[in-house]
Chains A and B, each alone.
Chain A
Amino acid sequence: MTNPLVAMRARPHPASAPSAVTTLAWRAMLKIKHVPFQLFDVTVMPIMFTLLFTYIFGGALAGSPRQYIQYLLPGVLVQTIIFITVYTGIGLNTDIHKGLYDRFRSLPMWQPAPIFGALAGDLFRYSVASALILVMGLILGFRPQGGVVGVLLAVALVMVFCLALSWCWIIVGMLVRTPESVMTTSFIFLMPLTFASNIFVDLKTMPGGLQAVVSRNPVTHLANASRGLMHGEPVATEVMWVLAASAAIVIVASPIAMRMYHRER
């Protein structure tokens, strides 16, 4: 038998940046496989919201549950994926405190690979959650007029925004001590961000002061764009708005996050 302690005497050439990112994305998927709960808890809540809102408020808000879900579902998709972004920060925080981050940092690989690997893994998580929400919607009577292309475009746009937003939670993940604090801190921002939007109700039903706030919320624009794309309505302005907001978040947050990531601790 070969002696495993000498077998790998000559060290291989370290992984290239894309290969390291792919490998770390594979790790993120394995985590979902082993801990499916982290997908479950962020998906069940929106499913519950959709059911409750559709059947309790649907009649009052839009005439009938079936009419309301046409309005609600594209927004619930936005909310669900936005909530999942928190896991990027939670995952990074866990790695730092478990010492895994130290091991990654002492490897001769492209240093930001763990962050980009995590983001790539998140894309998979977003896709699974999106599929679940859409299937449930179709069962409940959601009929997107924009067809498959419209729905896919909407999902893609939501993902772009959410990947950008993830950078904020990467910063939070490095700032606070425990994964629980990442969750709490992020939700302090996410709750108003998603509820002070037009995900659930039309902007026109809100008081004037609130309308001013809600109409400037990027989530409102994302929900509008998502609805428009799914139903085949022209929403180029909203899409541009979302892309601009995403770019702005990345431009501001990612250098801060990367600087903090490289900072020693």
Chain B
Amino acid sequence: MTDAIETRGLAKRFGDTRALDGVDLRIRQGSVFGLLGPNGAGKTTTIRILATLLQPDAGTAIVLGHDVVRDARKVREKVSLTGQYASVDEDLTGHENLVLMGRLLGLSWREARTRSTELLEAFGLADAAGKQVQTYSGGMRRRIDIAASLVAIPDILFLDEPTTGLDPRSRNQVWELVRRIAGQGTTVLLTTQYLDEADRLAERLAVIDHGRVIAEGSSRDLKASVGSSALHLRLASVDQHARAKALVSRVLGDGVLPGSDPMSVTARLANPAQAAAVLTALSQDSVDVAEFSVGNPSLDEVFFALTGHATGVEDSEGRP
């Protein structure tokens, strides 16, 4: 099977900012691929180039066998984009928006209306079909936005931060939709700064930072690169953080992983039995542990280990 997306040395600068600095990606057809990184890492720029909205300064991007610059129209026939902002007309109703998309994609009025009704039903928006989108909640807006990208089912669906700003319930609904779409054979490329989102949805992911792919693989691969298992401690009090860290590091040698949360300590374990030794040492020194667990390191820790800084610390990745 050919690759859905292949990029080589993709570069893009906006003025003095190097948004992309040589991005190489290979995305298999029929998979959910996650592009993970903090704000400003280059995720949106990558997706906009792949959706033919931007042209790269250097490098190539081939989408379903078509070059995004030379064959832009061919690419547009096969992909859909749902951007970070609800890209539907807020003055129009949900139904009107989907009919509009259907007509622009070449459906007859009747087909467009049927298709709209069908999608609104499937997305749980049938009751809001006749209401203006500006009255929709955040979750409904996101769904109508994704529905607008599925009026004609694309071969590749680009989702730029599909759940940013959503409440947990809406987030789950969107995740469910993404799984269903992917289950029907559409390749989904999604960007996210939520590590658990990438972990749950994407079979493979690329971690992107400062316009470069710094790691790629399955979430299991990435976790394995940081260590086989990890001990997570949640402290009862912030004051004991330094003391706890020192103790853990004394017991385990060089195992403490950097982290941004002042309430918790995470350490790499050579074997899970070491956890007992750590807990004993802490209790002897009267450091109160509120919670502890032994498991795979989280993607947050993976990110920290890969980049040396926490996620979400960069300036926001605005439009140029």
Interface residues of A (CB under 8 A from B): 2-9, 11-15, 19-20, 23-24, 26-27, 30-31, 34-35, 95, 98-100, 102-109, 113, 264-265
Which A residues lie within 8 Å of B305 (CB)? none
B92 touches A100 (CB 8 A): no
- A108–B152 Cα distance when bound, in Å, is 12
B88 touches A100 (CB 8 A): yes
Which A residues lie within 8 Å of B55 (CB)? 264
- A7–B115 Cα distance when bound, in Å, is 9
Which A residues lie within 8 Å of B214 (CB)? none
Say yes or no for B106: interface residue by CB 8 A criterion.
Answer: yes
Given A5-B122, A6-B184: A102 in contact with B91 (beta carbons within 8 A): no
Given A4-B119, A5-B153, A100-B88: A23 in contact with B53 (beta carbons within 8 A): no
B100 touches A23 (CB 8 A): yes
Give the 5 A-B CB pairs with smallest separation, nearest first: A99-B87, A99-B85, A23-B103, A12-B106, A108-B76
Which B residues lie within 8 Å of A265 (CB)? 319-320
- A248–B85 Cα distance when bound, in Å, is 38
B92 touches A30 (CB 8 A): yes
Interface residues of B (CB under 8 A from A): 48, 51-55, 73, 76-81, 83-93, 96, 100, 103-107, 111, 115, 118-119, 121-122, 132, 148, 150-154, 180-181, 184, 319-320
B92 touches A27 (CB 8 A): yes
A5 touches B77 (CB 8 A): no
| Closest residue on chain B to residue A20 by CB atoms | B104
B153 touches A14 (CB 8 A): no
| Closest residue on chain B to residue A2 by CB atoms | B118
- A110–B320 Cα distance when bound, in Å, is 25
- A11–B88 Cα distance when bound, in Å, is 20
B106 touches A30 (CB 8 A): no
- List 18 interface pairs A-B (beta carbons < 8 Å), by A numbering: A4-B119, A11-B78, A11-B152, A14-B77, A26-B100, A27-B92, A95-B89, A98-B87, A98-B89, A99-B86, A102-B48, A102-B83, A105-B52, A105-B53, A106-B53, A108-B76, A109-B104, A265-B320
Which A residues lie within 8 Å of B132 (CB)? 34
Which B residues lie within 8 Å of A20 (CB)? 103-104
- A264–B54 Cα distance when bound, in Å, is 6
Residue picked from A5, A7, A19, A104, most chain B C-beta under 10 Å? A5
- A20–B112 Cα distance when bound, in Å, is 13
B118 touches A7 (CB 8 A): yes
A11 touches B92 (CB 8 A): no
B73 touches A108 (CB 8 A): yes
Which B residues lie within 8 Å of A108 (CB)? 73, 76-77, 105
Which A residues lie within 8 Å of B85 (CB)? 98-99
Given A11-B78, A14-B77, A107-B105: A99 in contact with B122 (beta carbons within 8 A): no
B180 touches A5 (CB 8 A): yes
| Closest residue on chain B to residue A95 by CB atoms | B89
- A152–B274 Cα distance when bound, in Å, is 90
**Chain A: minimal CB distance from B76 (Å):** 4
| Closest residue on chain A to residue B83 by CB atoms | A99
Which A residues lie within 8 Å of B106 (CB)? 12-15, 19
- A19–B109 Cα distance when bound, in Å, is 11
- A12–B153 Cα distance when bound, in Å, is 10
**Chain A: minimal CB distance from B13 (Å):** 13
A107 touches B76 (CB 8 A): yes
A12 touches B105 (CB 8 A): yes
- A196–B281 Cα distance when bound, in Å, is 87
Which B residues lie within 8 Å of A107 (CB)? 76, 104-105
A11 touches B86 (CB 8 A): no
Picked from A11, A19, A23, A99, the residue with its CB within 8 Å of the CB of B77 is A11
Residue picked from A19, A34, A95, most chain B C-beta under 10 Å? A34
- A7–B184 Cα distance when bound, in Å, is 10
A4 touches B92 (CB 8 A): no
A14 touches B105 (CB 8 A): yes
Which B residues lie within 8 Å of A26 (CB)? 100, 103
A11 touches B153 (CB 8 A): yes
Which A residues lie within 8 Å of B78 (CB)? 11
**Chain B: minimal CB distance from A43 (Å):** 19
A103 touches B81 (CB 8 A): yes
Q: With A95-B89, A264-B54 given, name 17 new contacts (CB 8 A).
A: A3-B122, A4-B150, A5-B150, A7-B118, A8-B150, A11-B78, A12-B107, A12-B111, A24-B104, A30-B96, A31-B92, A34-B91, A98-B90, A100-B88, A102-B51, A103-B81, A265-B320
- A31–B153 Cα distance when bound, in Å, is 27
- A109–B105 Cα distance when bound, in Å, is 8
Which B residues lie within 8 Å of A113 (CB)? 104
- A98–B97 Cα distance when bound, in Å, is 14
A106 touches B52 (CB 8 A): yes
**Chain B: minimal CB distance from A40 (Å):** 15
Picked from B89, B90, B96, B115, the residue with its CB within 8 Å of the CB of A8 is B115
Which A residues lie within 8 Å of B151 (CB)? 8
A106 touches B51 (CB 8 A): yes
Which B residues lie within 8 Å of A104 (CB)? 104
B118 touches A103 (CB 8 A): no
- A168–B132 Cα distance when bound, in Å, is 30
